[in-house]
A and B are shown apart, each in its own frame.
Chain A
Amino acid sequence: MNCTRRNFLIGGSTTLFLSGYFPKISFASMQKKNLIIISLRGGMDGLTAVPVIGDKRLKKLRKKLILEDVLNLNSDFGLHPKLEIFHKLWQKNQAAFVHATNIPYTGRSHFDGQNLMETGAHIPYKEKTGWLGRGLLASNIIGKGLAISLPMPLLLRGVPQNNNFFPSPDFVETKLIDQIYNEFKGEHNELIKSTLDTIRQRPLSMQIATDSDDRKKLALEAAKQLKDQSGPRVAVFDLDGFDTHAAQGGVDGAHADELEEVNKIVTILHENLGQAFDNTLILTLTEFGRTIKQNGGYGTEHGYGSAILMAGGLLKKSQVYTDWPGLKKKELFEGRDLNSTIDSRAVYNSAMSICFNQDPEFLRKEVFWGDELPDLSQELFKI
């Protein structure tokens, strides 16, 4: 695709303007559906989050990383004890996992991998927009993205008028804006002016919040906004620190600390979305999994296959959805990594089709260049 972001913006808004745009299905007549993506940067270890039970080979290769007190999922898989909320939701058919999955990238570079997990493309840095932004644009959902970060994440790029929320260290008096608002005259000041409008229309809770180091507060505010029927339909969280080359540990290691962060965010979203949780999908996203074998520092190296953690009322049922490739040497990718048997983009494409009320076939063409991505909606989500 050759469109730059700018082209997208122009293209997007002109169509909107010229066609007197009305969605095929009136939004007012149905419940808003939310799609929440949590980026796990650094390479999330699927085998730590959702360990396979009783695999002798794994035990042998990961002597120092074996988990005690794994939460029980089914006869084949357990759950990391720090992912409590997922376990709780599992009982109610509101948590599920896709395992042995990844984006089709085997290069093991964080930077290329993170670029590709956001663009959904095959060649690093080639695309300048994110799959989620393109999905929103293709579905004509404009101005409904909320990023919980200071820069607008690549994942959301490609659709205009997204909001972001990551409050400054101190309270900002928005009345300062009122004092200068009328100075923004002329066409060349339109973009800033309309962004100032977005700020001025913010609910008070978003205006007085401070301290972006507190992830709890951010998640709480995001939940509040998502709950609002006229609020955002998409939210993107960003977590990093999954690159545990050393002291990855088991129940209390460095990887566990990061999973605990995911657990915290999902817990807060669940508690505060209330009824809206039933119309929500939460999915994680990462650039790759990690090696089966522990390294000299009791950590793991960059690998390939990982897992997607999912929560929300739009899930079909609690399940570990996988085409398990096995962990024998010859079954591993390049003899060292859990293989990926499901292109994770198929999961994201299906999730968008559910949340944006779009034909998955249409989205596949608009967002992922018609790549072979099977529709998994039937298997994974409530239709």
Chain B
Amino acid sequence: MSLNFYRRVAFGLSPNEKPDKDPLNWAINQLDTIPDLLWPGTIPTEKDLRKKYGEWVYGDREVLRKKFKNDKHAYRKAKDELRIKTGERYFELNEHAIRHFQTKYSKQPVFERFWLFWGNHFAISEKDFLAEFSTGPYQREIIRPNMVKTFEEMVQSVTTSWCMIHHLDNSESFGPNSKKGMEWGETINENHARELLELHTVSPNAGYTQEDVIQLAYIMTGWAHKWDRKNLETGDIWFDQEMHQKGDKIVLGVKYKNDAKRELAKVIHDLATHPICIKFVSTKLCRHFITDEPTDEMINPVIEAWNKSDGNLIEIHKAVITQAYKYNENTHKFHPPEIWLMQLSRMFDLNIPLSFEKMNYTFKSKPNNRQRQLSWILREIGHSPYRAKQPNGWSDLEVDWVSPELLLRRFWFASVELPMLVKSGNRSHDFILACLKNNFEDHENMASLIENFRFGTLDYDLGQKYGVICNLPGVLKI
């Protein structure tokens, strides 16, 4: 078995890890439990961060905008101060540190790869201040605990989470015949219903119609945040009967009797266990771990495991890994920038993220450059994880990640930034050779390409070496 399996399903091997005698078993054994988050610094709860979100939007919208209505300069200044006080510029950096610390040091790196996958399947795209306050804790508290449950349970949790409801505007969706809908002349907002069908469960392959979207939106009316003057849109999610569309609904030919808040769980059950949903999500999993265009032969065993276990994600994950192992030698998969960065960080023991002591924040001044470094790098290589442009998340296709500028950014990172992230004890040529040997079959060929620089240990020399190594075809993809 090639060493590239450790990068196919995880992040490669760190300098103190050795290849396992039984790589398949090594990988499969990582999926039964949820590993603890290892970050020794602060890990705030979703609820705490939602409170901060509320302080920020309330302060800006209800206080500052009114106070400085005639003075854009004073307004900007006051707004910057509020950013500092509420951590608006800080929490996303901390979340990136938590995430990258996890992928670097986790004893269950294969589990972490699935965590990244599900966070992107149920993506929160860049909207309002979700990236700043909410997407990180959503991935920790909603996605992660559900990874040892069923797919259906995951969909239930995601669909009723504050983050997804805010992201897809379900709080603004009123049943036109509901009490509030009639009083206020409001109607449905279809966003969340459409994405629940299209992106999260059955996909357009199910052939649903616009009427199905409307009917599902009716079922979902009432699932909204509690609104009040002080917390604005950051209140907890509840079911507001007065927003809920009355009457029976029909989605994909199935009738759902008028049953208030219980309707949603029923329709999610049907969607999450729909054969087309199972095929769609199994295909996406295989696409992520095997190759851009997986064949039925690759996907079918995953579907079988899904059906046999009634959608148990542990069993599904194991089936995916088994298939990834089976096809490891003759398939290729391109790694998007963030995974590439995580792999470099683990294989070469880079100095990211920053230590938790240095990440500590006092809410008295802007986060410093060191604290912003990791997030800045992610943005510059084109893959800021909480800032996908659309609700379908980041693409998993090579064709979307290969553009002149996006490739050049990788050369930039590896040759200019990376040398500054090499730990002082790791600057020797022998260290690089050892890491290559630990992770690549053709390490000798790779070493020959940087042979000219073997005596150099300056940043410039390291830049020449890493600039070459990190962008070789066998590193950009497996």
Cβ-defined contact, B403 with A176, below 8 A: no
Asked if B87 is an interface residue, CB under 8 A from chain A, the answer is no
Known: A111-B127, A166-B405, A245-B65. A6 touches B399 (CB 8 A): yes
Asked if B473 is an interface residue, CB under 8 A from chain A, the answer is yes
Cβ-defined contact, A9 with B399, below 8 A: yes
Cβ-defined contact, A64 with B411, below 8 A: no
Cβ-defined contact, A125 with B404, below 8 A: no
Within the complex, the shortest CB–CB distance from A116 to chain B, in Å, comes to 12
Partner of A297, one of B69, B411, B415: B69
Known: A124-B191, A173-B415, A192-B473. A297 touches B403 (CB 8 A): no
Chain B 13-39 residues near chain A, CB threshold 8 A: none
Asked if A299 is an interface residue, CB under 8 A from chain B, the answer is yes
Please report the C-alpha to C-alpha distance between residue A163 and residue B405 in the assembled complex, in whole angstroms.
8
Please report the C-alpha to C-alpha distance between residue A64 and residue B65 in the assembled complex, in whole angstroms.
14
Cβ-defined contact, A296 with B66, below 8 A: yes
Which residue of the partner chain B has the closest CB to A249? B72
Contact with A along B56-68 (1 / 0, CB 8 A): 0000010011101
Known: A6-B397, A150-B382, A172-B412. A192 touches B402 (CB 8 A): yes
Known: A115-B390, A125-B391, A191-B399. A196 touches B473 (CB 8 A): no
Contact with A along B405-433 (1 / 0, CB 8 A): 11111011001100000000000000000
Chain A 248-278 residues near chain B, CB threshold 8 A: 249, 252-254
Which residue of the partner chain B has the closest CB to A199? B404
Please report the C-alpha to C-alpha distance between residue A249 and residue B391 in the assembled complex, in whole angstroms.
33
Chain B 383-401 residues near chain A, CB threshold 8 A: 389-392, 397-400
Asked if B270 is an interface residue, CB under 8 A from chain A, the answer is no
Please report the C-alpha to C-alpha distance between residue A111 and residue B69 in the assembled complex, in whole angstroms.
26
Partner of A173, one of B65, B75, B191, B467: B467
Known: A164-B404, A191-B398, A198-B404. A177 touches B411 (CB 8 A): yes
Cβ-defined contact, A247 with B69, below 8 A: yes
Partner of A180, one of B65, B191, B403, B449: B449
Partner of B65, one of A199, A202, A249, A299: A299
Chain B 449-475 residues near chain A, CB threshold 8 A: 449, 464, 467-468, 471-473
Please report the C-alpha to C-alpha distance between residue A2 and residue B204 in the assembled complex, in whole angstroms.
9
Please report the C-alpha to C-alpha distance between residue A355 and residue B412 in the assembled complex, in whole angstroms.
36
Residues of B within 8 A of A254 (CB): 72
Cβ-defined contact, B71 with A247, below 8 A: yes
Please report the C-alpha to C-alpha distance between residue A88 and residue B69 in the assembled complex, in whole angstroms.
32
Please report the C-alpha to C-alpha distance between residue A154 and residue B391 in the assembled complex, in whole angstroms.
13
Please report the C-alpha to C-alpha distance between residue A163 and residue B402 in the assembled complex, in whole angstroms.
10
Residues of B within 8 A of A199 (CB): 404, 407-408
Interface-located stretch among A69-77, A93-101, A181-189, A365-373: A181-189
Within the complex, the shortest CB–CB distance from A364 to chain B, in Å, comes to 23
Within the complex, the shortest CB–CB distance from B77 to chain A, in Å, comes to 12
Residues of A within 8 A of B389 (CB): 151, 154
Contact with B along A156-194 (1 / 0, CB 8 A): 000000111111111011101101100111001101100
Cβ-defined contact, B472 with A180, below 8 A: yes
Q: How many residues of A contact B (CB 8 A)?
A: 56
Cβ-defined contact, A189 with B473, below 8 A: yes
Please report the C-alpha to C-alpha distance between residue A298 and residue B65 in the assembled complex, in whole angstroms.
8
Asked if B47 is an interface residue, CB under 8 A from chain A, the answer is no
Cβ-defined contact, A191 with B402, below 8 A: yes
Asked if A220 is an interface residue, CB under 8 A from chain B, the answer is no
Please report the C-alpha to C-alpha distance between residue A371 and residue B194 in the assembled complex, in whole angstroms.
23
Within the complex, the shortest CB–CB distance from A350 to chain B, in Å, comes to 28
Known: A151-B382, A168-B408, A184-B473. A195 touches B69 (CB 8 A): no
Please report the C-alpha to C-alpha distance between residue A298 and residue B464 in the assembled complex, in whole angstroms.
54
Known: A5-B399, A202-B404. A172 touches B66 (CB 8 A): no
Residues of B within 8 A of A296 (CB): 65-66, 69
Asked if B260 is an interface residue, CB under 8 A from chain A, the answer is no
Asked if B476 is an interface residue, CB under 8 A from chain A, the answer is yes
Asked if B195 is an interface residue, CB under 8 A from chain A, the answer is yes
Cβ-defined contact, B65 with A170, below 8 A: no
| Residue of B191, B382, B404 contacting most chain A CB atoms (<10 Å) | B404
Please report the C-alpha to C-alpha distance between residue A166 and residue B195 in the assembled complex, in whole angstroms.
32
Partner of A172, one of B75, B127, B390, B411: B411
Residues of B within 8 A of A170 (CB): 412, 416
Residues of A within 8 A of B210 (CB): 123
Asked if B380 is an interface residue, CB under 8 A from chain A, the answer is yes
Asked if A53 is an interface residue, CB under 8 A from chain B, the answer is no
Which residue of the partner chain A has the closest CB to B391? A125
Asked if B178 is an interface residue, CB under 8 A from chain A, the answer is no
Asked if B169 is an interface residue, CB under 8 A from chain A, the answer is yes
Cβ-defined contact, A298 with B69, below 8 A: yes
Please report the C-alpha to C-alpha distance between residue A189 and residue B334 in the assembled complex, in whole angstroms.
10
Residues of A within 8 A of B416 (CB): 168, 170, 172
Please report the C-alpha to C-alpha distance between residue A342 and residue B75 in the assembled complex, in whole angstroms.
36
Asked if B263 is an interface residue, CB under 8 A from chain A, the answer is no
Known: A170-B416, A195-B402. A176 touches B471 (CB 8 A): yes
Asked if B125 is an interface residue, CB under 8 A from chain A, the answer is yes
Please report the C-alpha to C-alpha distance between residue A106 and residue B371 in the assembled complex, in whole angstroms.
41
Asked if B369 is an interface residue, CB under 8 A from chain A, the answer is no
Residues of B within 8 A of A189 (CB): 473, 477
Please report the C-alpha to C-alpha distance between residue A249 and residue B467 in the assembled complex, in whole angstroms.
48
Please report the C-alpha to C-alpha distance between residue A150 and residue B64 in the assembled complex, in whole angstroms.
33
Please report the C-alpha to C-alpha distance between residue A152 and residue B415 in the assembled complex, in whole angstroms.
24
Asked if A343 is an interface residue, CB under 8 A from chain B, the answer is no
Within the complex, the shortest CB–CB distance from B410 to chain A, in Å, comes to 9
Within the complex, the shortest CB–CB distance from A355 to chain B, in Å, comes to 23
Residues of B within 8 A of A84 (CB): none
Which residue of the partner chain B has the closest CB to A296? B66
| Residue of A6, A64, A246, A296 contacting most chain B CB atoms (<10 Å) | A246
Within the complex, the shortest CB–CB distance from B8 to chain A, in Å, comes to 14
Q: Can you list 13 pairs linking A and B with CB atoms under 8 Å apart?
A: A6-B399, A110-B127, A115-B390, A125-B198, A151-B406, A165-B405, A168-B412, A172-B415, A176-B411, A177-B471, A199-B408, A247-B68, A296-B69
Known: A125-B390, A247-B71, A247-B72. 6 other contacts (CB 8 A): A167-B408, A176-B464, A192-B407, A195-B402, A245-B61, A298-B70
Q: Which 8 A-B pairs have the closest CB atoms?
A: A297-B65, A168-B412, A246-B65, A247-B72, A298-B69, A176-B467, A188-B332, A164-B405
